[in-house]
Amino acid sequence: MQTLPHSVSKAVSIEDLRLIAKRRLPTCIFDFYDGGAEDEITLLSNIQRFREISLLPRILRSVHRIDTTRHLLGSEIKVPFAVAPTGALGFGRHGADLSLAKAAAEQGTIYTLSSSATTSIEQIARHAQGRQWFQAYILKDKDFFYKLIDRAYAADFEGLMITVDLPVGGKRERDNKNSFSIPFKLSPSVALDFLSKPAFLSSLLSKGMPVLENMVGLEGETRSVNHIASSVGRNYDASFNWDDLKRVRDYWHRKLIVKGVLHPSDAIRLIELGVDAVVVSNHGGRQLDTAVATLDALPGVVKAVDKRIAVLMDGGIRRGSDIFKAIALGADAVLTGRATLFGAISGGDSGALHAMNILKEELVRTMQLSGVTELAEISKDFLFLKQGLV
């Protein structure tokens, strides 16, 4: 594991890591990771809803030993959070995908590789240990789509995650205002932005432009960065439906997780289709703005599922207390997207692990101060819910 950079070692919160990433990256790249769709109402609501729920602790309980393990989809994870799929991380720091995968393995949890990662399925399997899932976007080119699934199977990924809330891309206005795109188009404003961060630019020039490794060959046999990156968005399949998902279920014989569920009725139908878990998610506020915050959608999905399959959630996780609240509202575990992304981009391998350690330590402290010793004890009884919030 790398030595933790001094600035990162001083970070005591996920927000500290976010600000380090902001100082390190050109504005257009930071905003690509940090931003959401349109007015960013859903992005902000995901975070704010956690802040609006207060904890109601119990006292005089022995809390000197805390157990954060959770049985999830067949085996144990040591913490109730896994790494969400996050694409194009290599544009923020070379090797960031692998940093997250290695940190997740060291933390004893699951890493999810995005279709649009800058590290290939095979590289992750070869260089990182631990439990791994592969996230697949729905592509028009079904031969290519199923070849990705075959590669994940051959690489022994235990789970396949299908993201269903991206039939088309969201309107991300920060990217528009920054003239940002992948691949980079060096307009005068983008060039000045890059020049303002000489250390970042030097690293990019010395190590070369990252490639969306899993998308090589999507439109012909080429490794052109421009061609690969621009072809991905054109290839989302807006016609993908329940019958198509059933074909995926029949094809993939390991754990199947569906991400992007907000409506209870959809969760029930997914159970009937035979999925193993759902992720309550609004894509981190990057798709449909004004969509319901995931913490608000979680209880309805949990009630509909009624313990028949696992329920995970993502969106807005910035503190260990957020994880506690999600579990109290019925989540089996959460996925961390930006929270761990900022760690990897700020400090590579050690930064990714530092982010996870921050979340784990905060969760343990929250459990101790709330009077619980294991995750199974966490319930709504430890939440003070104002009328109309949940």
**Cα distance between residue 309 and residue 319, in whole Å:** 26
The answer, yes or no, to whether residue 326 has pLDDT greater than 70, is yes
Q: Which of 33-42, 95-104, 222-231 has the lowest mean pLDDT?
A: 222-231
Catalytic residue among 127, 263, 283, 354: 283
Q: Give the pLDDT mean for 217-226.
A: 55
Whose CA is closest to 352, among 16, 31, 102, 90?
102
The answer, yes or no, to whether residue 136 has pLDDT greater than 60, is yes
Q: Which of 50-75 are b and which e, b meaning 16 or more Cβ less than 10 Å from the residue's Cβ?
A: beebeeeeeeeeebeeeebebebbee
The answer, yes or no, to whether residue 230 has pLDDT greater than 50, is no
Strands 70-72 and 75-77: antiparallel
How much is the pLDDT for 219?
Answer: 66
- Confidence bin at 2 (pLDDT 50/70/90): low
Give me the torsion for CA of 360, 295, 343, 171, rounded to 10°: 170
Average confidence score pLDDT of the chain: 93
The answer, yes or no, to whether residue 84 has pLDDT greater than 60, is yes
Q: Give the pLDDT mean for 359-378.
A: 98
Per the annotation, the verdict on 283 as an active-site residue is yes
- Confidence bin at 182 (pLDDT 50/70/90): confident
- Cβ of 239: how many Cβ atoms within 10 Å? 8
The answer, yes or no, to whether residue 388 has pLDDT greater than 60, is no
The answer, yes or no, to whether residue 19 has pLDDT greater than 90, is yes
Rounded to two decimals, what is the model's pTM?
Answer: 0.94
Q: Which domains does the chain have, with CATH numbers?
A: 6-383 (3.20.20.70)
| Burial class (CB within 10 angstroms; exposed 0-12, middle 13-18, buried 19+) of 247 | exposed
Give me the torsion for CA of 223, 226, 229, 231, rounded to 10°: -90
